[in-house]
Amino acid sequence: MIEAAEKQLRTLPFYHLFTSKAHVPSIELAEKLIEISPVPMSKVFFTNSGSEANDTVVKLLWYRNNSLGKPTKKKFISRMNAYHGITAVSASLTGLPANQRGFDVPLPGFLHVSCPHFYRFGKPGETEEQFADHLAQELEDLILKEGPETIAAFYGEPLMGAGGVIVPPKTYWEKIQKVCRKHDILIVADEVICGFGRTGNMFGSETFGIKPDVMVVSKQLSSSYQPIAAIMINDLVYQGIADQSHTIGTLGHGFTGSGHPVAAAVALENVKIIQEDELVRHAAHMGEILRGGLQRFADHPLVGEIRGVGLIAAVELVADKGTKAPFETVGRLGRYLSARAQDLGMISRAKGDAVAFCPPLISKEEDIQAILKCFEESLEATWQWFQAGQAK
């Protein structure tokens, strides 16, 4: 990847993609993304970050619906606990209060339905499928309340990342998509966390049977070695945008660094490495070892739920295993455990009292075992601290 960057810096260190211009790295990367997409896609639009990409999706769908003579079809529905970015628009899609308080977001027209976390929000005696049923009904009720003619798209991460590694319940995406298709509402899959192998397939949409109209990728597109993100749109979406651009005479949107040649060259090499080294299959195997290893802590007094898929997982800590009651000061225990893990040389992330694990795709079995050992020691230190009455 360093060689790819150096070669591109010596060949063409920069040129923009405005006024119908392009360069080889951007063309080849766009073609590669279309090639590996899990559903037929037509065009690719590059940005510099996932936040910019999600902001751009909203603008493009507004633009498209104006072209289609649907000026009221402008609202977006996402979920509580979702993370889609921190620009004004992408933060409006986000469903995390910490990213919204004090910023006057969400903006009008951005709606949120419940978080699909069965362990935390499923009703007593309810199956995952029944939980998915009532989430789908909640979505349809909101659509009918607002009016289907006002809803542009449903926005979702295949698996929620920053919201706590929330794996959707069985049949969830199948039922959500059915509601959206019934009411002519587009589906946007935010693959920033899930894309390029994290869930054990190339894309999270494959893992959960999603057939999106729009896909957003970033982070692992270049393994974050260069700032780059991309939007993939199907032909249904593209034609409306193209018609509007033809009518106006230009597509008045873009960024100076969109599809930067060095970033694109690095991203293209990164995707090739993922394919050639079979890192998706490798990540799936390492994920089985990680999740299997975490299961040995299932009976620990502090452990409420162990969840994950592919090479991403979380352990949710609770005060009472029977009632699933969280701690009086939510997040204090998770932060304490993460701090102890860092003292032992492992960086983890606490989302509330859920401790998240997201190792590199190149992790080897000995790395996974080291993670498990570090977690075991950190959990024991946290349990001692809790028993001493320090956790409240």
Q: How far apart are CA 199 and CA 207, in angstroms?
A: 7
The answer on pLDDT for 390 being more than 80 is: no
Q: In what order do the strands lie in the sheet with 312-317?
A: 303-309, 312-317, 354-357, 349-351
The pLDDT assigned to 322 comes to: 87
Handedness of CA 18, 24, 29, 30 (dihedral sign): positive
Sequence-distant (≥ 6) Cβ neighbours of residue 187 within 8 angstroms: 153, 154, 156, 177, 180, 210, 211, 212, 213, 214
User: Which residue has better confidence, 333 or 154?
Assistant: 154
Burial 329-360 (b: 16+ CB within 10 A, else e): eeebbbebbbebbeeeebebbbbbbbbbbbbe
The whole model's pTM is what?
0.96
pLDDT tens-digit map of 268-295: 999 999 999 999 999 999 999 999 999 9
The pLDDT assigned to 323 comes to: 87
pLDDT tens-digit map of 102-157: 999 999 999 999 999 999 999 999 999 999 999 999 999 999 999 999 999 999 99
What does R_g of the chain's alpha carbons equal in angstroms? 22
For tokens 């299932």, what's the residue? 298
pLDDT tens-digit map of 34-70: 999 999 999 999 999 999 999 999 999 999 999 999 9
pLDDT band at 329 (very low <50, low <70, confident <90, very high): confident
Sequence-distant (≥ 6) Cβ neighbours of residue 196 within 8 angstroms: 202, 203, 217, 220, 221, 271, 274, 280, 361
Q: What CATH number labels 279-384?
A: 3.90.1150.10
Q: How far apart are CA 248 and CA 313, in angstroms?
A: 47
Residues of the chain with CATH 3.90.1150.10: 279-384
In terms of Cα–Cα distance, which of 18, 77, 65 is closest to 252? 18
The answer on pLDDT for 18 being more than 60 is: yes
Q: What CATH number labels 2-276?
A: 3.40.640.10
pLDDT band at 392 (very low <50, low <70, confident <90, very high): low
- Which uninterrupted H or E stretch holds 187? strand 186-190
Residues of the chain with CATH 3.40.640.10: 2-276
Q: How far apart are CA 300 and CA 340, in angstroms?
A: 17
Q: How far apart are CA 351 and CA 260, in angstroms?
A: 33
By the 8 A CB rule, do 302 and 386 touch?
yes
The vertex-169 CA angle with 97 and 39, nearest 5°, equals 95
In the chain, the amino acid numbered 300 is H
Sequence-distant (≥ 6) Cβ neighbours of residue 119 within 8 angstroms: 304, 305, 307, 316, 324
Region of residue 278 (left: phi > 0; alpha: psi -120 to 50; beta: else): left
pLDDT tens-digit map of 61-71: 999 999 999 99
For tokens 């920069």, what's the residue? 14
